[in-house]
Structure 1
């Protein structure tokens, strides 16, 4: 199944010059743990809630003065919209990431898929498999 069928298209984004205070507020309001930093439609970085804790608070930065560009992980690992499920899991594992911005053929951001999405998908599949097995089990 292509990633574009699994990914969420409602990606929360920000610009490199946005303050980390704005990012934290946007994450809270959107109930997400990361924001993709874009230049136009192209992802150039990602800031996670962990980045805010370790890179801002941990380093004593002023959240109203520090910007996304100061704390973002540059050149984020992305995945093509037509990549498959196994490519996604392999990429997450190899690169040690929990969030993958999804890009189209023009490298434009079209979605995001997270480790939590993957866990939810697998839990749903296990539930479905259990239902199939239960339906096939003979009555004694």
Structure 2
């Protein structure tokens, strides 16, 4: 049975404005135990920032995370998948673009979720190391 992205995605992802500081986003990720936040201006999706982006593009550059905006750290070469896309399409997009998370949009191109490589592993290969780790409770 073909499953769709809507079956495994994280719904209602956290979103911030581009001018939000890296520090604020890092704290949001910590407090909500999430690894990615969408960056949007109003309804317009502008990027996705992951915990790794914060380290590699912000902290490692030596800037002041209180002064650096998330727009400076986010991935802006953005690809998306649709709610009705099957899981194979999500895998294809992740492989083609070498990304671990992809925003999910509805037919009107409104962002409605995020699908991650961990979501796919839990669904398609729960006995794998990645599936097992992704399904585990977070360590605090």
TM-score, normalization: structure 1?
A: 0.84
Task: Say if 1:2 and 1:81, in contact at 8 Å, map to a contact too.
Answer: yes
Task: Say if 2:58 and 2:72, in contact at 8 Å, map to a contact too.
Answer: no
What does residue range 39-50 of structure 1 map to in structure 2 within 5 Å? 39-50=41-52
What is the aligned partner in structure 1 of residue 102 from structure 2?
100
Q: List per-residue Cα deviations over 1:56-114 (Å, max 9, x = no partner).
A: 11110100000011111114111011111111111110110100100011111001110
Task: Say if 2:87 and 2:120, in contact at 8 Å, map to a contact too.
Answer: no
Q: Kindly report the root-mean-square deviation, in angstroms, between the aligned alpha carbons of the 2 structures.
A: 1.5
Task: Say if 1:12 and 1:30, in contact at 8 Å, map to a contact too.
Answer: no
What is the aligned partner in structure 1 of residue 14 from structure 2?
12
Cα distance in 2 for partners of 1:80, 1:113 equals 10
Number of aligned residues = 126
Larger displacement relative to structure 2 (5-14 or 81-90): 5-14
Which structure has the larger Rg over C-alpha atoms? Answer: 1
Task: Say if 1:3 and 1:82, in contact at 8 Å, map to a contact too.
Answer: yes
> Secondary structure in 2 aligned to 1:73?
coil
Cα distance in 2 for partners of 1:85, 1:125 equals 18
TM-score, normalization: structure 2?
A: 0.84
The answer to whether 1:36 aligns with 2:38 is yes
Cα distance in 2 for partners of 1:58, 1:94 equals 27
Task: Say if 2:4 and 2:84, in contact at 8 Å, map to a contact too.
Answer: yes
Gaps of 5+ in 2: 129-140
